[in-house]
């Protein structure tokens, strides 16, 4: 599978997806730490991809996303942004509602299927 196809599949299959350095429990950079902690504070499950363990994704995703930096938060197939945007949206209360609504739709789909 081509890297770009793998990225598209990850984004499609994961309602809330964070591309980051490290993992939420062991982030490898401050921006990834802040972003994952902010998502955890939203109270919903999310998937993550450690780009340090996936150099192909680390190289290809910025081109696909037209976003040069990490972390990158994707919700329902849409790029939300990086750390600054994630924090700003959280502080305004916007991120919580986007995450909760996306998680509710995801969970409802699982019940229906």
Distance from the Cα of residue 49 to its chain's centroid: 8
Q: Is 31 annotated as a binding residue?
A: no
According to DSSP, the residues that pair with 48 across neighbouring strands are 18
d(CA 76, CA 74): 7
83 is in an annotated binding site: yes
Residues 6+ apart with CB under 8 A from 51: 19, 20, 21, 57, 58, 61, 70
- Annotation-wise, does 45 bind a ligand? no
**Residue 58 assigned to a binding site:** yes
Binding residues for glutathione: 21, 58, 70, 83-84
Binding residues: 21, 29, 58, 70, 83-84
Binding residues for [2Fe-2S] cluster: 29
């Amino acid at each position: 599978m081509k890297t770009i196809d793998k990225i598209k599949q990850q984004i499609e299959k994961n309602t809330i997806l964070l591309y980051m350095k490290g993992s939420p429990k062991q982030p490898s950079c401050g921006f990834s730490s802040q972003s994952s902690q902010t998502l955890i504070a939203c109270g919903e499950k999310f998937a993550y991809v450690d780009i340090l363990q996936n150099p192909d994704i680390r190289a290809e995703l910025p081109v696909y996303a037209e976003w040069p930096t990490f972390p990158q938060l994707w919700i329902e197939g849409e790029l939300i942004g990086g750390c600054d945007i994630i924090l700003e949206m959280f502080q305004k209360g916007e991120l919580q509602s986007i995450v909760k609504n996306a998680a509710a739709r995801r969970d409802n789909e699982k019940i229906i299927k």
